[in-house]
């Protein structure tokens, strides 16, 4: 039987945001790792893998969470909000995240 684990509440209760240090410690406890350095290395490795995969244009399934991918946007006309002058906004790439149904149901 799998043990039910819960995330530790962030110290900043005003924004409900983890600091990087709190996040790593939470991962260490959640995954049952003995050393904080192991958890930090795990987080860094996952982050590097995601960055490299997105840079290469791959879609990344995050099991139970959703998927991350890169989407190209077209060049378009916009307006400078300060002057109202029309400006050309260049085409670019953007990282997108599409949440899984299970994540939506768990959060919303």
Query: What whole-number distance in Å separates Cα of residue 28 and Cα of residue 67?
Result: 24
Beta-sheet pairing, 92-99 with 86-89: unpaired
Return the biggest CA–CA distance within the chain.
Answer: 63
Using one digit for the tens of pLDDT, what is the confidence trace for 69-91? 999 999 999 999 999 999 999 99
In sequence order, what are the residues at sequence separation of 6 or more whose Cβ sits closer than 8 angstroms to the Cβ of residue 50? 60, 68
What integer pLDDT is reported at residue 31 of this predicted model? 86
Q: Give every residue of the chain whose pLDDT is below 50, as ranges.
A: 1
Closest listed residue to residue 68, CA positions, set 81, 56, 83: 56
């Amino acid at each position: 039987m799998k043990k039910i684990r819960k995330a530790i509440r962030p110290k900043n209760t005003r924004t409900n945001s983890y600091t990087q240090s709190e996040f790593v410690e939470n991962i260490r406890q959640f995954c049952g790792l003995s050393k904080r350095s192991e958890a930090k290395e795990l987080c860094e490795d996952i982050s590097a893998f995601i960055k490299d995969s997105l840079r290469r244009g791959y879609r990344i399934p995050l099991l139970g969470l959703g998927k991350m991918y890169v989407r190209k946007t077209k060049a378009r006309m916009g307006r400078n909000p300060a002057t109202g002058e029309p400006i050309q906004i260049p085409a670019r790439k953007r990282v997108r995240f599409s949440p899984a149904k299970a994540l939506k149901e768990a959060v919303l």
